[in-house]
Amino acid sequence: MKKLTTLVLAAGLVVSAFAGSASAGEFKPVLQFAEEFTYTDAGIDDSENFNAATRIRFGFDYVASEDLSATILFQYRHTNWGNNGNDFTADPSIFGDDSKDHFRMRLAYIDWTIPSTDVKVRMGRQAVVAPSYAFGSAVLDGRADAVSVNGNINENISLGLAWLRTDSETNAKKYEVLKNGEKELIFGADDADAVILNAEFAYDGFKVAPWAMYAYKDTAAMSYAPANMLPYEANSFVVGASAELNMFDPFVFAVDALYSNVSYDDMPAGSEDSFDGFYVAAKASYKFSNGVAALGGWYATGDDDTNNDNGFVLLDGGFSASTILFGDNIIGCDGYNTLTGDTPFGTWGLIAEYANFSFLENLSHTARVVYVKGTNESEKNEYGMKVKAEEHSFLDWSEDDSAIEVDFNSTYQIYKNFSATLELGYVFVDQSNLDFGQEEQDDIFRSALTFVYKF
C-alpha cells in the first residue's frame, strides 16, 4: 500500500507543479477507477471462481497550444484481491516481471504540428489502431511505442504513416534455453519493427479505408505469432481495407477484409517457411428510436492438414464480437477469452444483437447471440488422437468444434461520472473431436459487476 500511496502523492506533486504555472498552458487531469467483481462457473479449469479486481488510471494532458501538447497516463491493475496476503501492491513484483498486471505506463507521448502545415506528429507510447468498421481490428488495436504522422490531403482524404518498435532488448540478451539440465543464455539482436500506412476516403454516404503493414522480427523477438517461431527471423505483410455505407441511414453496412503472409528465414530443411491467411467480416445495422439492431459475421482461415495456412500477424488485436469468448469486457480479470486466443483467426461466426435499448432512464441494455465454429482442419489417427497443423496456430478450434454464446449486459448511470455495469453470459460448448484422454470443455457461465468512476 505504501508504494501505491507514494505514487498517488507523486502524481499530486506533478499536478501542483503544473497548476502553479497554468498561464503557460492548459492542464487537464485524468482519473478513472474501476472495481470489478466476477463469478464464473466451469470454463478452462472446470471450477467455480469468484474474483475481484481494481484498475486505476491517472495522468494528465498538458496543452501548450493547438500545435503542441503532451499526454501521460499511468495504470495500476491488480488482477486478484488478496493475491499476496494483506499486501495490496503484491510486493515485490510491482515493478518486476508481473508489472503488466500491476503498475505501468499506459500512454506517454507528445503531439506537435509541423510548422506551416496541418501535418500532425505523435511520438511516444500511444494508441495504435488498424482500420476496422465492423467488430474491431483483428490485428492491431492497442498501444505501442511509435512515431505516427497524420495529415489531410483535402476535406475527403486523409493519410497516416506509423513506425512501431514492437520489441527490443538493448543489452542484446535474447532468451534462455535448457541445455544438459542447465540454463544457457543465448545472445544477439532481438528487435521487431512494424510500419503501417493507411488512408481514409470519406464522402457523403460512404467511406473506405485501405491500409498495409510490413513487420520484421529478429531471431529472438517475441512480439507476434505464429507461436513466435523462435529462433527464426521473419518478414510479414498485411494488406487490408474497411468500408462503411451509410447513405441509406438508418441502415448502415460495414465490411472489413485483410490478407496476411508470414515468411521465416533459415528454417530447417523440409519445414514450411511461409504461411498465409485471410479474414473477412461484415455487419448490417439498423438504428431504431430505442436501440440498434445488428446482424453480422466473419470468416478466417485456419490451419490445413499440410501446415501451410494461418499465417496471421497479431500485434495487439481488438476483435470484440462477444463478452466472454472475444474479450469485450471492462477489466477482464478472469481471462476466459483464452479459449479463442481473443482473436477470430481460425474460426467463423455469426452474430445477432440489439444494443443500447432502454426502458428506464439512465439504464441501458445490450443483448447478443454469437455462434462460433472452428476452421482448423484435423483428423484422428488410429490411436484416436487428433492430427492437425503444427503449433503455429493461434487456436485449437477444429472444424468439428463449435460454441454458442448468449450475452445480456446492462449499464446504469448512477451519477454523471459514475456507472455500474452488469454482464451476464453463457457459452454452450460443443467439442466433438478431442485428443485421446482429453476431457470435453464444459459450458461456461460468467457474471461481472463493474463500477467505473471517471472524470
The domains found in the chain, sorted by start residue, are 114-449 (2.40.160.100)
Q: Please give the residue that has the higher pLDDT: either 348 or 52.
A: 348
DSSP 8-state class, residue 25? S
pLDDT at 320 over 90: no
> For residue 44, what is the DSSP state?
T
The three cell numbers locating residue 368: 447478443
Contact (Cβ atoms closer than 8 angstroms) between residue 75 and residue 101: no
Q: According to the per-residue pLDDT averaged within each range, which of 38-42, 102-106, 219-223, 355-359 is highest?
A: 355-359
CA end-to-end distance (rounded Å), the chain: 24
Distances, alpha carbon 451 to alpha carbons 33, 55, 105, 296, 331, in Å? 8, 10, 23, 30, 11
Assigned C-alpha cell, 42: 466451469
Indicate if the pLDDT at residue 369 is higher than 90: yes
What's the confidence (pLDDT) of residue 190?
66
- 302 vs 171: which has the higher pLDDT: 302
Tell me what pLDDT residue 379 has: 53
pLDDT of residue 222: 54
**Which of 11-20, 296-305, 327-336, 380-389 is predicted with the least confidence, judged by mean pLDDT?**
380-389
Closest-CA residue to 425 (of 322, 353, 305) = 322
Task: Look up residue 336 and give its DSSP letter.
Answer: G
The predicted structure's pLDDT at residue 93: 38
Which pLDDT value is given to residue 243? 97
**What pLDDT was estimated at residue 176?**
47
Question: What's residue 424's pLDDT?
Answer: 95
Q: Is the pLDDT of residue 359 over 70?
A: yes
Q: Which of residues 193 and 413 earns the better pLDDT score?
A: 413
Q: Is the dihedral of CA 137, 138, 143, 149 positive or negative?
A: negative
C-alpha cell at position 161:
504513416
The pLDDT score that the predictor gives to residue 422 is 96
172: left (phi over 0), alpha (psi -120 to 50) or beta: left
- Average pLDDT estimate for 50-76: 91
Q: What is the pLDDT of residue 280?
A: 97
Question: Hey, is 383 helix, strand or coil?
Answer: coil
In DSSP terms, which residues pair with 216 in a beta bridge? 193, 235
pLDDT at position 290 is 94
Q: Is the pLDDT of residue 27 over 70?
A: yes
Percent of the chain surpassing pLDDT 90: 44
Lowest mean pLDDT among 305-314, 330-339, 401-410, 446-455: 330-339
Query: At 276, is the pLDDT very low, low, confident or very high (cuts 50, 70, 90)?
Result: confident
Highest mean pLDDT range out of 21-30, 105-114, 304-313, 428-437? 105-114
Per-residue model confidence (pLDDT) at position 79? 62
Environment class of residue 340 by beta-carbon count within 10 Å: exposed (0-12), middle (13-18) or buried (19+)?
A: buried
Least confident span in 12-16, 162-166, 193-197, 292-296: 12-16
pLDDT above 70 covers a percentage of the chain that reads 68
**What is the C-alpha separation between 371 and 353, in angstroms, rounded?**
12
Query: For all residues of the chain together, what is the average pLDDT?
Result: 78
pLDDT at residue 92, rounded to an integer: 37
How far is Cα 390 from Cα 407, in angstroms, rounded to an integer? 33
pLDDT of residue 141: 87
Local confidence band at 88 (pLDDT 50, 70, 90 cut-offs): very low
Cβ neighbours of residue 359 closer than 8 Å, sequence gap 6 or more = none
pLDDT tier, 392 (very low <50, low <70, confident <90, very high otherwise): very low
pLDDT on residue 305: 60
Give me the residues paired with residue 355 across strands: 292
How do residues 188-238 score in pLDDT, each as one tens digit?
456 788 899 999 999 999 999 999 999 887 766 655 544 445 567 788 889
Cβ neighbours for 416, distance < 8 A, ≥ 6 positions apart: none
Beta strands in 120-272 (DSSP E): 120-129, 141-152, 157-167, 173-179, 182-187, 192-203, 206-217, 234-245, 251-264
Reduce the DSSP state of residue 411 to 3 states and report it.
strand
Can you give the pLDDT at residue 336? 55
Measured CA to CA, the distance from residue 142 to residue 136 in angstroms comes to 11
Question: Which pLDDT belongs to residue 178?
Answer: 44
pLDDT reading at 74 higher than 60: yes
Would the pLDDT of 14 be above 90? no
Of 38-42, 101-105, 304-308, minimum mean pLDDT range: 304-308
**pLDDT above 90 for 298:** yes
